[in-house]
Amino acid sequence: MESSGVKIVNGSNSPNVNNNNGSTTNSANGSGTLMATATPPPPPRPRPTPPLPPQRSQHKLETKGYVGIDTLQEQIRKKVIKRGFEFNIIVVGRSGLGKSTLVNTLFKANVRNHNGVQVVTSGKLSEQVTKPRTTEIRTTTHVIEEKGVQLRLTITDTPGFGDQIDNSNCWLPVLDYVNDQYEKYLDEEQSINRKKHIPDSRVHCCLYFIEPTGHSLKPLDIECMRRLDKCVNIVPVIAKADTLTVEERIAFKKRIQLDMQENGIRVYPNNEIDENPEEIINNNKIKELIPFAVVGSEDQFPSNGRSVLGRKTQWGLVEVENKMHCEFADLRDMLIRTHMQDLVEVTSLLHYENFRHDRLQSNHFNGQNIDIASMNESNI
């Protein structure tokens, strides 16, 4: 039956009645008596989208005269030079590979002190040195000045691998040291009364010394480098490369590169941080040289009317800074002359940020685990 646009259905099996406007009425009994139900609330209106901020147009503006903006570079240079620079290196590898000697050769100074006796020979001051083995982690800090630029250099020497009967987990002291420096920097950063300039003791570069076996990386070296590459910039070097022929050295480097690739070992320079095309080209050239085949020496010998650092053998003189003899000059140029500041920035922006993220995510403050979700103004 239809009446006034309302359809009524009698019977107990048809309780619902539909109106023309889509609403539903219920029948209390089969007699067709209508009971209106409440109309559902209208859906909420969508919130208006906030207007986008006005786009600022940028265009190059040419000044009508000299303003002095170009002096900003000189202002920054003076401020940075007055404060000085900081660079921290850790040397890692087996005993007897000349780690301390190479560091002295890099900076042309006795930055790793040896116990010895000074003697005068032929009017020159020479040194008879007894070089003890490093049995514990030792840190030495020097301030080197060159042409008015001061560099605070920190060298950390580590015990050699392979000296113990059981060498499992022998990399833990190195990892603990690196992470301790991050922890100290993070604590200083979070301090209420922190210093204006936080002393940077974070390790910027790890020189990893590889034994010149001529075969491939040893399992101990692979395990250690796999753990170190996650927290520090690794620069692998082949120590005492003058013990290999040129052909052996080339083949050895290729096998090491293959071992690092197969085991997922990431060495510096890496592509974690955005780089411009020029930096990518330069870094690719450096990657082709890795690992650097180097020779270290603190002794000087005459060669072609000049004095050079080298190693005297029965077959001749191995010149340390001669690129035809070894790749020490390439390593020095990368560490000091082209990529020192980049090593510092990668440490800060990549490795330290990863450590900071993991530490704060674990809610670890001052050695105590704190549930941040339960913290409120009353108990802070």
Question: Can you give the chain as a three-state secondary structure string?
Answer: CEECCEECCCCCCCCEEECCCCCEEEECCCCCCEEECCCCCCCCCCCCCCCCCCCCCCCCCCCCCCCCHHHHHHHHHHHHHHHCEEEEEEEEEECCCCHHHHHHHHHCCCCCCCEEEEEEECCEEEEEEECCCCCCCEEEEEEEEECCEEEEEEEEECCCECCCCCCCCCCHHHHHHHHHHHHHHHHHHHCCCCCCCCCCCCCCEEEEEECCCCCCCCHHHHHHHHHHCCCCCEEEEECCHHHCCHHHHHHHHHHHHHHHHHCCCCCCCCCCCCCCHHHHHHHHHHHHHCCEECCCCCCEEEECCEEEEEEEECCEEEECCCCCCCCHHHHHHHHHHHCHHHHHHHHHHHHHHHHHHHHHHCCEECCEECCHHHCCCCCC
User: Is the per-residue pLDDT at 68 higher than 90?
Assistant: no
Could you report the per-residue pLDDT of 73-83, keeping only the tens digit for each? 889 888 888 88
Could you report the per-residue pLDDT of 32-58, keeping only the tens digit for each? 444 555 677 777 766 666 666 666 667
The structure's pTM equals 0.73
User: Is the per-residue pLDDT at 2 higher than 70?
Assistant: no
Mean pLDDT over each residue of the chain, to the nearest integer = 78
User: Is the per-residue pLDDT at 92 higher than 50?
Assistant: yes
Could you report the per-residue pLDDT of 149-189, keeping only the tens digit for each? 889 999 998 877 666 777 778 888 899 999 999 999 999 98
User: Is the per-residue pLDDT at 9 higher than 50?
Assistant: no
Could you report the per-residue pLDDT of 112-138, keeping only the tens digit for each? 654 433 333 333 434 444 455 556 788
Could you report the per-residue pLDDT of 247-262, keeping only the tens digit for each? 999 999 999 999 999 9
Q: What value does the mean pLDDT take over residues 232-244? A: 93
pLDDT at 27: 46
pLDDT at 371: 46
Question: Can you give 113-155 as a three-state secondary structure string?
Answer: CCEEEEEEECCEEEEEEECCCCCCCEEEEEEEEECCEEEEEEE
pLDDT at 52: 66
